[in-house]
Chains A and B, each alone.
Chain A
Amino acid sequence: EVQLVESGGGLVQPGRSLKLSCAASGFTFSDYNMAWVRQAPTKGLEWVASISYGGSNTHYGDSVKGRFTISRDNAKSTLYLQMDSLRSEDTATYYCARPATFAYWGQGTLVTVSS
């Protein structure tokens, strides 16, 4: 059974950093591209970033480009999202998901950016 379990969310002040993790199991992690998708409170879904199965190719949404970094450790079957220079508008539940069709999602981890 495919499982994606996010962690690392919490309350952080504007301008600070936070690193999210997503532990994957139930499939060969190194065979698949991975992604982060977020959802602000009461809002819709927004794709954040994607990374290729080997980690060499990454793509970012315009709203996070230059501030967020997606990475992975295939030996640990873990996906990461390093979030720097956080803003209040980054407040959201962050989901780890498996593209291209996003057939699998984690339960999400809430990031709140507030002073």
Chain B
Amino acid sequence: DIVMTQSPSSLAVSAGDKVTMSCKSSQSLFSSEYQGNYLSWFQQKPGQSPKLLISLASTRETGVPDRFIGSGSGTDFTLTINSVQAEDLAVYYCEQYYSYPLTFGSGTKLEIK
């Protein structure tokens, strides 16, 4: 099974700050056949269902603000939020869909000071 390790588990920032969070996989998520990394990022706000922010490691979903940036390849991935807003309060999860069983990271909880 591919293990997804997220860090930090939580962080507290002020509005306007830049945030980076990490997601590491125990195996490469790069598909040479499809030339992409099978890694998604989700945002889950309190009391809501998860929302897909980014797929294929760096492809932002339609309607997702451009302050959310996904990067990385292979086994190391990063979600960056430029100029954090109060509405970004949430838990952020990474997930690999390279192989079964599909696995999620344990999440990074973002708190706004």
**Chain A, residue nearest B55 (CB):** A101
- Between B42, B95, B101, the greatest number of chain A beta carbons within 10 A of the residue's beta carbon is seen for B101
Interface residues of A in 71-115 (CB under 8 A from B): 95, 99-103, 105-108
| Nearest neighbor of B49 in chain A, beta-carbon distance | A105
The CA of A106 and the CA of B48, in the complex, are separated in Å by 10
Q: Does A45 lie within 8 Å of B95, measured CB to CB?
A: yes
Interface residues on A, range: 20 to 34
Q: Which residues of A contact B105 (CB under 8 A)?
A: 44
B80 interface hit (Cβ, 8 Å): no
Least Cβ distance of B43 to chain A in Å?
12
Interface contact A50-B93, CB-CB below 8 Å: no
CB of A103 within 8 A of CB of B61, answer yes
Chain B's closest residue to A99 (CB) is B97
Closest Cβ of chain B: how far from A96's Cβ, in Å? 10
Residues of B within 8 A of A60 (CB): 101
Least Cβ distance of B33 to chain A in Å? 14
- Would B101 and A61 count as touching, CB distance under 8 A? yes
Question: What residues of chain A have their CB less than 8 Å away from a CB belonging to chain B?
Answer: 35, 44-47, 50, 59-62, 95, 99-103, 105-108
